[in-house]
Amino acid sequence: MLAIDLREKRVLVAGVADDGGFGFAIARSLAEAGASVCVGTWPPAMKIFTTMLERGKFDKSLVLSSGEKMAFDAIYPMDADYDAYDEIPEEVRQSRRYRDHGDVSIAGVADRLKSDFGEQPLDIVVHSLANGPEVKNPLIETSRKGYLAAIGASAYSFTSMVQRLGPLVKPGGAFLALTYMASERVVPGYGGGMSSAKAALESDIRVLAYEAGRRWNHRVNVISAGPYASRAASAIGFIDQMIEYTTHNAPLAEPITAAEVGNTAAFLCSPLAAGITGTTIYVDKGYHAMGVAVDRKE
């Protein structure tokens, strides 16, 4: 039997703050394959996330196929807008949602991982992060500040994670990010520079696959997922229409599930995908293959 086996592997999934998004689904699939899972959570969402965990609000989602309950090795406060502690503005450090967390930068999380688990504590790193403060603005109305914020949070943060976490991943490790087809085709309403950020992320994946491959023998890939009504995606404002449109026009006329993305991630991060790097894998029911929209319902 050919099976995904990630036993004795440790994973960091950055961008988990509830049980409804791709980050959680990926963490769950990796745990199903036997991996130990750490997560990085945005500091303003940290207390809500941990409180809901403690109160059992996510218990149903945490149950694995074996009947066991997934547990996190560690939950780290992480704000990927900041590469190092000295880049965090003083007013942010002292704000109510940050002041008790210490160093929430990417470098800070790297230091905590080494302190908790040793010099090379990781085998897999997943980037499930995106933010565009002006995502509802058409690109032509997006400010420079909003555009650069989208690029920084949604694209450069992955480069920063590879840079700072690459040495912490055992040789032959795997890095994975998430993208969306707006990187290559126009999706009206997906604005604020987010389409540019996703295009930059996909370009960076290819370059980082070469650089991290030659430096550490790590693999670097990205999943292009179809639209999914996570809490974060709902901020776009028309996610339901996006799902309806792609479902109607995809070769497989059904919405994607978070589990499908999670299972693809588990494969890409496993030894079964040892020959795959620098690649965009579509999990969108084949919508990306369509050149003409279906003009009638069957």
Question: Tens digit of pLDDT for each residue in 67-115?
Answer: 999 999 999 999 999 999 999 999 999 999 999 999 999 999 999 999 9
Average pLDDT over residues 240-267: 94
Percent of the chain residues past pLDDT 90, beyond the cut: 90
Assess if residue 232 is contained within a domain: yes
Domain that holds residue 116: 10-287
293: pLDDT confidence band, cut at 50, 70 and 90? confident
Tell me the catalytic residues. 180, 190
Assess if residue 295 is contained within a domain: no
What token pair was written down for 197? Answer: 């950020």
Split into its structural domains, the chain has a count of: 1
65: pLDDT confidence band, cut at 50, 70 and 90? very high
Taking only the tens place, the pLDDT of each residue in 173-196 is 999 999 999 999 999 989 999 999
Query: So what's the pLDDT on residue 67?
Result: 95
How many Å apart are CA 169 and CA 151, to the nearest integer?
25
Query: So what's the pLDDT on residue 242?
Result: 87
Assess if residue 296 is contained within a domain: no
Residue type, 19: D
Assess if residue 19 is contained within a domain: yes
Mean pLDDT of the chain: 95
Assess if residue 124 is contained within a domain: yes
Assess if residue 264 is contained within a domain: yes
Average pLDDT over residues 260-268: 98
Domain containing residue 246: CATH number: 3.40.50.720
Place of tokens 């994946």: 205
Assess if residue 5 is contained within a domain: no
